[in-house]
Amino acid sequence: MARAVLNTINTRLDPNNIATILKHSEAKVFFIHYEYIHPQGT
């Protein structure tokens, strides 16, 4: 049995709320879609 939980995060939340959710979830693995990654300076 995998014992995994999917914790979706609303992309409209501000960075502080997202950080709080991730810390509270104690996530060990984090997946993100490439469209949400922006290079530095853009």
Which tokens in the block code for residue 13? Answer: 């939340």
Question: Could you tell me the residue ranges of all domains in the chain?
Answer: 1-42
Per-residue pLDDT of the chain (42 residues; tens, 9 = 90+): 778 888 888 989 998 999 999 899 888 888 888 887 877 765
Block residue for tokens 């509270």: 24
Spatial distance between the Cα atoms of 29 and 42, rounded to a whole number of angstroms: 26
Count of other CB atoms within 10 angstroms of residue 15: 7
Q: What is the pLDDT of residue 6?
A: 86
- For the purposes of burial, counting CB atoms within 10 Å of the CB of 18, is it exposed (0-12), middle (13-18) or buried (19 or more)? middle
Note the pTM of the prediction, 2 decimals.
Answer: 0.62
Spatial distance between the Cα atoms of 20 and 15, rounded to a whole number of angstroms: 9
